[in-house]
Structure 1
Amino acid sequence: MEPLMIIFSLIASSLVFITACWALVKTKSSKNLPPGPPKLPILGNLHQLSGPGPHRVFKALARKYGPIMYLQLGQVPTVVISSARVAKEVLKTHDTIFADRPASETSDLFFYKSQNIAWAPYGNYWRQMRKISSLELLSAQRVRSSGFIRDEELTHMRKSLESLAGRPTVLRELLTKYVNDVISRSTVGDANKDQPRLVELLFDIMKAVIQFNATSFYPSMGFINVITGKKAKWLKTQKEFDNMLEDILMQHRNNKPNGSHVQEDLVDVLLRIQETADLDLPITNDNVKAVLLDMLVAGTSASSVAIEWAMTELMRQPDIMKKAQAELRATLKGDTITDSEIQNMHYLKNIVKETLRLHGPPFLMPRVSRKDCTIEGYDIPAKTRVIVNALACSTDPDSWEDPESFNPDRFEESNINYMGSDFEFIPFGAGRRVCPGITFGVGIIENALATMLYHFDWKLPNGMEPHELDLTEATELSILPKYPIQVVPINLSSSAS
């Protein structure tokens, strides 16, 4: 087999070289493309992605080449947006032109030919499912009705922290479990018999979709994933996850909720709509499964990462933590925290905003131009991939004073929010494809922080000083702290005695 593999490798290398060179030749035209760094043969600008993280690399390049920058990433022509002004042109002024997602082998494979809301092509099906998402799956009423799940999981997390009181504790595992359990129970209910395996498969799918593979930058080289065995591994994961979803659907069909829709989980909602709603496009089982996977994946890592970053920043600045605790403890009554009370926690909300500004998702999900377009006087050809560097926008000195500092007070007299209308702060996106689950995701973060700050005091272990905390980023599924924060929880009753 070894000589055969060598022959395959030589053929693959030759094809990559020929197709990449042809792609580079084709980009040389009379079009007025945005500025960008010089390209290498075959790689284009791929070699420049190595470093502290692509979002940091793109941000540094933008300082030299400007807020709209053209890159050739393998075979893929790519435009990177790094300022609020240009992001507004893409996500609002020309939103329809950039409403599509780029084709992806992994999204097609895992999301049932991209029939989820996040990756579905812009068109009638996407509009129908987006409407269902906004009015049924993630409506304000639905989020409120599932609040009891979040409260139960917060109680479990609080009891775990009480059992660890006085001892150095790594928060990451507790936070991840809390978020995963809330999202899983809200989406598929308690019907899943193997919750730990469900979470493992979710992370495998997220890695496959997000991490580098040959077809991400060389779409014509799909056979490489077959030769290397990646495709077989993905298919195995997809098959196991599909079987799990089929079991969940069957259990829900056999145990339909009676009467009120209040206690429905998202599977119940989708099955009810599938069976009773008068839809322009009938919903298939694969459509249901694609949307369920969408919901499970959407907040699985992002919310827990945001909570961990918030606690890291608060441990670095004890005065900010004390101010937040003073607000909570002066206002809250009793042992539980209600959503209506959270709405009055203005400083807590500012902490969440500032955390998302500095440590939110680095990039918005990519878009692709549906036809030729002009942005900032530059030509953007059809089928160009567009990446909005959200963290570059939210730390742009032209939009923010002292942008790299963690300072929740900056929002005290500001109306800027993350709902998609302020393009200097778009952790959830903007325009037609803004994230529909903002209220649900932010609620998970706010309630966890409120619980942790209200019921516990916190200190660093082993005499560690706040300034010694390391803010180095690790680029995995999200931009999370490279070194998980270790803290010592102290029961409030203990700290008062």
Structure 2
Amino acid sequence: MILYLLFLTLPVLLVFLFSKQKRLKKKTLIPPGPPGLPFIGNLLQFDTATPHLYLWKLAKTYGPFMSMKLGSVPVLVVSSAKMVKEVLKTHDLTFSSRPKFLSLQKLSYNGLDAAFAPYGESWREIRKICVLHLLSNKQVQSFTPIREEEVFRMITRISDLASSDHDHLTNLSEIMLSFSSSLICRIAFGKKFDDQEGSEVNKFDELMYEASGNAGWLFCF
């Protein structure tokens, strides 16, 4: 019964989506670009092995300013110095905001941090605070001993594992995760990652893996 209802409602939903998409296309003028499939756009056509060559060939056909769709996300591709100047200098305020990806919203409290907040007065104030108080040259230089010590510890750990008699592979991903976690903990919280209790370490590792997974999902597109 449920499958029967799905088969009945699916054509209606498809017609509704197609008609809505046509209305949006009539209202907004978009640059030319390769035709895509419904819902997935140009994802199946995109050459992930040599994307620069793929986009270069498309630019020969559709011009230096073309549009694509990666899934439901519209993308503008700029491939000439003149158009880059128009985007980054002449009309920079139009293109200076950030897209709202679900993964980034989860990592940045719905886009409230400096990296992914939408462009506006709030973002300018956050940037000013970061530049003056968090990322100033004096503040960054004050953490140099911590960075050097953590890098030395990481290299020593890799060297010890490589020179040990045990015949096993060295998990560099785990070592790099431990290095990143220790560096963040010492700079942000003032204590070593190794000094935390087991449950806190596991929770911090889970957060790092989740953040990496969300970032990896984003860069896949």
Query: Aligned runs of 1:49-448 on 2, under 5 Å?
Result: 49=46, 51-52=47-48, 56-57=50-51, 59-65=53-59, 66-83=63-80, 85-166=82-163, 169=170, 171-190=172-191, 193=196, 194-208=200-214, 211=217
Q: CA deviation at 1:10?
A: 7.3
Unaligned runs of 5+ in 2: none
Return the alpha-carbon distance in structure 2 between the equivalents of residues 16 and 186 of structure 1.
52
User: Quick check: 1:35 aligned with 2:32?
Assistant: yes
| Alpha-carbon spacing, 1:9–1:198, altered in 2? closer, same or farther (3 Å) | farther
Q: What amino acid maps onto 1:45 in structure 2?
A: N
Q: CA deviation at 1:128?
A: 0.9
Identity of aligned residues (%): 33
Unaligned runs of 5+ in 1: 213-362, 364-474, 477-497
Cα displacement string for residues 194-240 of structure 1 (whole angstroms, at most 9, x for unaligned residues)? 2342132133134235527xxxxxxxxxxxxxxxxxxxxxxxxxxxx
Return the alpha-carbon distance in structure 2 between the equivalents of residues 187 and 43 of structure 1.
41
- Counterpart residue number, 2:16: 18
Return the alpha-carbon distance in structure 2 between the equivalents of residues 207 and 17 of structure 1.
35
Give the aligned CA root-mean-square deviation in angstroms: 3.6
Q: What amino acid maps onto 1:177 in structure 2?
A: S
Return the alpha-carbon distance in structure 1 between the equivalents of residues 120 and 189 of structure 2.
27
TM-score (norm. length: structure 1): 0.36
TM-score (norm. length: structure 2): 0.73
Cα displacement string for residues 11-55 of structure 1 (whole angstroms, at most 9, x for unaligned residues)? 578536632552245325794x43321233443323324x536xx
Q: What amino acid maps onto 2:48 in structure 1?
A: P
| Alpha-carbon spacing, 1:129–1:10, altered in 2? closer, same or farther (3 Å) | farther
SS of 2:45's equivalent in the other structure is helix
Q: What amino acid maps onto 1:188 in structure 2?
A: F
Return the alpha-carbon distance in structure 2 between the equivalents of residues 166 and 82 of structure 1.
49
Return the alpha-carbon distance in structure 1 between the equivalents of residues 23 and 52 of structure 2.
24
Return the alpha-carbon distance in structure 2 between the equivalents of residues 180 and 10 of structure 1.
52
Greater shift in the superposed pair: 136-145 or 174-183: 174-183
SS of 2:68's equivalent in the other structure is strand
| Larger RCO (alpha carbons 8 Å, 6+ apart) | 1
Q: CA deviation at 1:79?
A: 0.7
Return the alpha-carbon distance in structure 1 between the equivalents of residues 13 and 32 of structure 2.
29
SS of 1:77's equivalent in the other structure is strand
| Alpha-carbon spacing, 1:178–1:71, altered in 2? closer, same or farther (3 Å) | same
Equivalent residues of 2:111, 2:117 under 8 A apart: yes
Greater shift in the superposed pair: 64-73 or 128-137: 64-73
| Alpha-carbon spacing, 1:23–1:201, altered in 2? closer, same or farther (3 Å) | same
Return the alpha-carbon distance in structure 2 between the equivalents of residues 117 and 103 of structure 1.
14
Equivalent residues of 1:117, 1:130 under 8 A apart: yes
Larger helix share, 1 or 2: 2
Return the alpha-carbon distance in structure 1 between the equivalents of residues 11 and 188 of structure 2.
44
Q: CA deviation at 1:76?
A: 3.8
